[in-house]
Amino acid sequence: MPHRSGQRPVFRFAPSPNGRLHLGHALSAHLNHSMAREMGGLYLVRIEDIDATRSTPENEAAILEDLAWLGLSSDAPERRQSEHLAEYERALDRLKDMGLVYPAFLSRGEVKAIVRTQEEGGQPWPRDPDGAPLYPDADRLRDTRDRAERLARGEKHAWRLDMAKALALLDRPLFWMETGERWPAQIPANPRTWGDVVLSRSDAPSSYTLSVVVDDAAQGVTHVVRGRDLYHATAVQRLLQELLGLPEPVYHHHRLVLDAEGRKLSKSSSSTALAELRDKGATPSDILRLIGV
Ligand code: GLU
């Protein structure tokens, strides 16, 4: 796997403690660990517990136990996102100072209603690569006074990136370096397809997108190895790295482990949960066989 010279390779496995680990996570952790070992680099575990409504200390403890069982514990103390909120806030403040974010007041229900009205009128609403509707224009177009009054009233809001404005700041096309079986290749990044992404919400101080770029930079991550489900999300992460002046890691998006019906595994499907397999007598080498490595 290529990497930039002079730097010690740093890999990370970054589970969210909103459920137990399954076979897909085992593949991701294993690949990160083995690539780090091959390259004489570091393998770090990061706990992505920014979503306080879904993350629990019990899940975190269980994740660390599963990783220890697999022999995939972190080479250094785990970084926990909930302990770094001030860093995400600083990154958001920088984007605010650059005039690239705006307060978004529409509730999920209001967004749904706007989308439904347009679609019922026979006009499709644009969707992001995950299939979610793009955020409507209303809040971006709001005048400064209306915005200021709503903020002064303490109206609930998220902060969103003004995608068009952010892209206008770039002075060259955006790419990322992807490695793997069919790669390496420079992949053109097209963050526009995600619209005005959310950077923080009233109930979560930072979004996944913002925290992940801050964390990868803070931990000196040189290689991001994760499932293909996050392939398209890379475009926005590259954009935020450019805007915030953060280094660019190399990416490798690996195959997903699918269930018997060919679907992506979920945290709720217990048949592929590592703890369940362990309870049924599976050994760590059985897990490696099951994930095909
Ligand atoms: N926390 C994310 C997840 O569990 C992974 C994020 C990443 O690897 O960039 O899906």
The full set of domains in the chain, from first to last, is 7-83+257-293 (3.40.50.620), 85-215+229-246 (3.90.800.10)
Residue 149, burial from CB neighbour count under 10 angstroms (0-12, 13-18, 19+)? exposed
The answer to whether the peptide bond before residue 136 is cis (omega within 30 degrees of 0) is no
The predicted pLDDT at position 260 comes to: 74
Task: Report the distance separating Cα 100 and Cα 95, nearest Å.
Answer: 5
Ligand 1, atom 6: closest residue by C-alpha? 14
The predicted pLDDT at position 2 comes to: 60
The predicted pLDDT at position 184 comes to: 73
Residue of 211, 226, 237, 253 with the most ligand 1 atoms within 8 Å of its CB, for mutation: 226
Give the pocket of ligand 1 (CB within 6 Å): 14-16, 48, 212, 226, 230
Secondary structure (3-state) at 105: coil
The predicted pLDDT at position 192 comes to: 97
Angle at 268 (CA atoms; ends 262, 269), nearest 5 degrees: 40
The predicted pLDDT at position 74 comes to: 98
Question: Which helix (H) or strand (E) is 133 found in, with range?
Answer: none
**Which of 102-113 are b and which e, b meaning 16 or more Cβ less than 10 Å from the residue's Cβ?**
bbbbbeeeebee
Question: Where do runs of H (alpha helix) occur along the chain?
Answer: 23-38, 57-70, 85-97, 108-120, 138-141, 144-152, 163-168, 208-218, 234-244, 274-279, 284-290
The predicted pLDDT at position 52 comes to: 87
Quote the tokens at residue 139. 């809040």
Ligand 1, atom 4: closest residue by C-alpha? 15
Q: In what order do the strands lie in the sheet with 42-47?
A: 79-80, 42-47, 10-13, 223-227, 250-254, 175-178, 185-188
Task: Report the distance separating Cα 272 and Cα 142, nearest Å.
Answer: 47
The helices-and-strands tally (H runs, E runs) of the chain is: 11, 10
Given a cut of 50, the residues of the chain with pLDDT beneath it are none
Calculate how far, in angstroms, residue 141's C-alpha sits from the geometric centre of ligand 1. 32
Cα 228 → chain centroid: 12
Residue of 12, 13, 16 with the most ligand 1 atoms within 8 Å of its CB, for mutation: 16
